Chains A and B, each alone.
Chain A
């Protein structure tokens, strides 16, 4: 038996691509969740609503300070006990999305805090309502410079999605492990999986670096 069986490698590619497709879908939806929830959380924190803002601030620190794997286990094993039963994939998407919301919330916070105070004062001087101020004045200006950072988190999420294989989701890594245990040949599947992650991550990170130079001239 040779070390690397090319025929075997080729034969398993379709299965791995299926897992890869699931990885892409999970990443995409989770990222959307993290973009929306993160923005809401950062706005609530910024408005300093008594109690609520503090709770959210603490949650952000707590989620950022604890492992995604354990959070995934909790969602997968604990939620059903409280009557919240989902299939594995939606559960994984929600966990990944909420986990990264804690990170995007911090990114938004940086963007909002970087906004010149004069913008707030001008909006106030014109008596613009708070909602309008946020939607038309603050968010458009705050988000633009942080787009590269958000892009980095997208790439990180793409790789972290592999962790969801531990809660029975057969995404790319999960497929590779399944193939490995079925045929008892791990070298080819895991290597191909690694190459697939790399083939997506590396060009995307180059793209992000280009964006950084465009969006953040002082870089």
Chain B
């Protein structure tokens, strides 16, 4: 059993399990003429691990960004854990509400570019939000942060600053930082796409560990098909703003039904 059982247990839900953790209903988003999402209906069950694959510009990153309130949907209802995140009406300039801000706390995100705060140490990066958003005391936040850093294998680097770390190390710190907020949902936006090949494994290992040992709901946008196959309960193929096909990994990767899925997988695994 993993030596980090204690900290991993803290990432599990404390309330009774819900059925649907994330829901998108009729969500559309367009930039000018570019319709990134068209009336998307999409659900994720609590504890489900979902991979989203598809070509660039297909809208898969937009789904994550809307969940993290980095983008505002034009139309549609988005809920997380039963609470409303976005309730966007057509024709109106929708803005984030107090409800949005409260619900957002259930979601954590890991970015392709890591986005660590370079002028703060690793430890300071991880405790910043818990102290100033959750109001946790410095001692408690530090203790928890050290546990999380140990989980991702970077406890020895806690006094270093991000520029002193490799890409893989930075991304692992970013994961610890997101986990420190105890989210119910973890979003990974192409977490390894900006990494040198030899550093990808260490990050995927952490994600794998989270997937197999916690009941957090996880959404992963990735081009790492082998990992997606191993990690997911469900794989969603996205293209041009709509769900082309979705199902268990064996189905999508071994027997894709749709022609677009087949074409995409062929192109991606060609070499």
- State if A and B touch, Cβ cutoff 8 Å: yes
Residues of B within 8 A of A132 (CB): 132
Q: Which of B113, B118, B128 contacts A126 (CB 8 A)?
A: B128
Alpha-carbon separation in the docked complex, A140 to B120 (Å): 10
A126 touches B68 (CB 8 A): no
Give the distance in Å from the alpha carbon of A137 to the alpha carbon of B118 in the complex.
9
Q: Pick the residue among B69, B101, B118 that contacts A141 (CB under 8 A).
A: B118
Which of the four size classes fits the interface of chain B?
20 to 34
Report whether B113 and A118 are in contact in the complex, using a CB–CB cutoff of 8 Å: yes
CB pair B119–A129 under 8 Å, yes or no, is: no
A101 to B128, CA, bound (A): 32
CA distance A141 to B104 in the complex (A): 26
A127-B129 contact given A122-B111, A122-B115, A141-B118, CB 8 Å threshold: yes
Q: Is B177 part of the binding interface, using a Cβ–Cβ cutoff of 8 Å?
A: yes
CB pair B109 A128 closer than 8 Å: no
Shortest distance from the beta carbon of B8 to any chain A beta carbon, whole Å:
21
| A contact residues around B68 at 8 Å (CB) | 121, 124-125
Query: Are the C-beta atoms of A129 and B108 separated by less than 8 Å?
Result: no
Interchain residue pairs with CB less than 8 A apart (22):
A116-B113, A119-B115, A119-B117, A121-B68, A121-B115, A122-B111, A124-B68, A125-B68, A126-B128, A126-B129, A126-B177, A126-B178, A127-B104, A128-B129, A132-B132, A136-B117, A136-B120, A137-B117, A140-B119, A141-B117, A141-B119, A144-B119
Residue of B nearest to A118 (CB): B115
Distance in angstroms between the alpha carbons of A84 and B225 in the assembled complex? 72
B residues less than 8 Å from A127 (CB atoms): 101, 104-105, 129, 133, 181
Residues of A within 8 A of B (CB): 116, 118-119, 121-122, 124-129, 132, 136-137, 140-141, 144
Q: Are A125 and B70 in touch, CB under 8 angstroms?
A: yes
Q: How far is the CA of A2 from the CA of B133 in the complex (A)?
A: 76
- Tell whether B116 is near chain A: CB-to-CB under 8 Å: yes
**Cβ-defined contact, A128 with B70, below 8 A:** no
14 further A-B contacts with Cβ under 8 Å, apart from A118-B111, A121-B115, are: A116-B115, A118-B113, A121-B68, A121-B111, A124-B68, A125-B68, A125-B107, A125-B109, A126-B181, A127-B129, A127-B133, A128-B129, A140-B119, A144-B119
CB neighbours of A116 from chain B (8 A): 113, 115
Instruction: Enumerate chain B residues within 8 angstroms of A140, measured Cβ to Cβ.
Output: 119
Report A-chain residues with C-beta under 8 Å of the C-beta of B119: 140-141, 144
Interface residues in B111-165 by Cβ distance below 8 A to A read: 111, 113-120, 128-129, 132-133
| Residues of chain B with a CB closer than 8 A to A118's CB | 111, 113-115
In angstroms, how far is the closest chain B Cβ from the Cβ of A155?
A: 27
Complex CA–CA separation, A124 to B109 (angstroms): 10
| Complex Cα gap A136–B162 (Å) | 16
Chain A residues near B128 (CB, 8 Å)?
126, 128, 136
Please tell me if the beta carbons of B108 and A125 are within 8 angstroms of each other in the complex.
yes
Q: Within the assembled complex, what's the spacing in Å between the Cα atoms of A140 and B129?
A: 17
Q: Indicate if the CB atoms of B133 and A128 lie closer than 8 Å.
A: yes
Which residues of A sit under 8 angstroms from B118, Cβ to Cβ? 141
- Assembly CA distance A219 to B223 (angstroms): 37
Which residues from chain A contact B129 at a C-beta distance below 8 Å?
A: 126-128
A122 to B108, CA, bound (A): 10
In the bound complex, do residue B133 and residue A129 qualify as a contact, i.e. CB atoms below 8 Å apart?
A: yes
Which residue of chain A is the closest to B68 with respect to CB atoms?
A125
For A129, what are the chain B residues with a Cβ–Cβ distance below 8 Å? 132-133
Q: How far is the CA of A119 from the CA of B125 in the complex (A)?
A: 12
Taken together as a complex, chains A and B put the C-alpha atoms of A19 and B147 apart, in Å, by 62
CA distance A205 to B151 in the complex (A): 50
Bound-state CA distance A116–B115 (Å) is 9
Complex Cα distance A40/B117, Å? 23
A125, B178: Cβ atoms closer than 8 Å: yes
List residues of chain A with CB within 8 A of the CB of B69: 124
* Nearest Cβ on chain A to B73's Cβ, whole angstroms: 16
User: Are A122 and B133 CB-contacts (below 8 A) given A127-B101, A127-B105, A136-B128?
Assistant: no
Q: Chain B residues with Cβ under 8 A from A122's Cβ? A: 111, 115-117
- In the complex, the 4 A-B pairs of residues with the closest C-beta atoms, listed nearest first: A122-B115, A126-B129, A118-B115, A125-B109
Minimum distance in angstroms from B179 CB to a CB of chain A: 11
Which chain A residue has the least Cβ–Cβ distance from B118? A141
Q: Which residue of A lies closest to B130 (CB)?
A: A126
- Expressed in whole angstroms, the Cα–Cα distance for A18 and B213 within the complex equals 75
Which B234-264 residues have a C-beta within 8 angstroms of A?
Answer: none
- In the assembled complex, the Cα of A124 lies from the Cα of B100 at a distance in Å of 12
| Alpha-carbon separation in the docked complex, A118 to B170 (Å) | 14
